[in-house]
């Protein structure tokens, strides 16, 4: 077959995967990539297929909802650190590299909220999470030992919890739309799919 998948009935050609792999192998990451044709190389192509179909799911959903990439937030606003990227997952995080994906994130997660109870419980579990370091001699700071009042850190906790909740909601939404719209061609399964021959656990 000349396609790696169909998304909402649209074929994703093998040539699109070849092009994406070629760009990756021409980048600074080239020395760390597996050899083409090896088991690991085939796994890399399966992974790139996941990114291609996620991009197409984003385009399809954005068209359905009338979303454009204009006025999209910066990537750092949605993924402020490595922990946020891990929380979102690498496929969804890659989808947010493009303005259209970030604009869709805003639309899909617009109704996500966190409750006062969640905020209070978080502070009770993590009383020093947003406490300011204590200034010490010589310009050094020491770790805080006194928890701030909830009202003093409420906005920071709210931002933290809301960001996490929105990332979780977007990941679940994207997973559901992929399951609904994507049909992978045999040989281009998810690299973690135990049914494909290169999914072998080695030590």
On whether residue 192 sits in a domain, the answer given is no
Note the pLDDT tens digit of each residue in 138-170: 778 888 888 999 999 999 999 999 999 999 999
On whether residue 129 sits in a domain, the answer given is yes
Predicted TM-score of the model (pTM): 0.88
Strands (DSSP E) found in 8-152? 10-13, 134-135, 141-142
The two three-digit tokens of residue 20, written as one number: 């994406």
Report residue 113's pLDDT band, with 50, 70 and 90 as the boundaries: very high
**Per-residue pLDDT for 82 more than 90?**
yes
State the helix-helix crossing angle for 39-65 and 99-108, rounded to 10 degrees: 60
Phi first, then psi, for residue 11 (nearest 5°) are -80, 140
Q: What is the pLDDT of residue 142?
A: 81
On whether residue 195 sits in a domain, the answer given is no
* Sign, Cα dihedral of 120, 122, 124, 127: negative
Smallest CA-to-CA distance from 52 within 25, 19, 29, 88 is with 19
Q: Give the three-class secondary structure for 84.
A: helix
Which DSSP symbol is given to 94?
Answer: H
Q: Are 45 and 17 in contact (CB under 8 A)?
A: yes
Domain residues for the domain of 94 are: 3-184
Q: What is the mean pLDDT of residues 166-185?
A: 96
- On average, the pLDDT of the chain sits at 93
On whether residue 18 sits in a domain, the answer given is yes
* CATH number, residue 30: 1.10.4030
On whether residue 7 sits in a domain, the answer given is yes
On whether residue 189 sits in a domain, the answer given is no
């Amino acid at each position: 077959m000349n396609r790696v998948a169909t998304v909402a009935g649209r074929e994703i050609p093998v040539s699109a995967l070849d092009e994406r792999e070629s760009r990756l192998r021409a980048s600074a990451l080239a020395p760390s990539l597996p050899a083409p044709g090896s088991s690991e190389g085939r796994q890399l192509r399966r992974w790139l297929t996941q990114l291609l179909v996620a991009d197409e799911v984003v385009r399809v959903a954005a068209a359905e909802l009338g979303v454009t990439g204009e006025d999209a937030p910066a990537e750092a606003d949605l993924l402020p650190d490595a922990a946020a990227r891990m929380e979102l997952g690498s496929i969804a995080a890659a989808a947010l590299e493009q303005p259209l994906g970030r604009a869709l994130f805003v639309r899909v997660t617009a109704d996500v909220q966190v409750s006062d109870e969640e905020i209070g419980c978080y502070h009770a579990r993590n009383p020093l999470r947003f406490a300011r370091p204590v200034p010490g001699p010589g310009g050094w700071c020491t770790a805080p030992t006194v928890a701030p009042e909830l009202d003093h850190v409420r906005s920071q906790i709210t931002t933290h919890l809301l960001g996490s909740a929105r990332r979780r909601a977007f990941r679940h939404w994207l997973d559901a739309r992929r399951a609904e719209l994507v049909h992978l061609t045999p040989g281009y399964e998810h690299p973690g799919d135990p049914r494909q021959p290169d999914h072998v656990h080695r030590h």
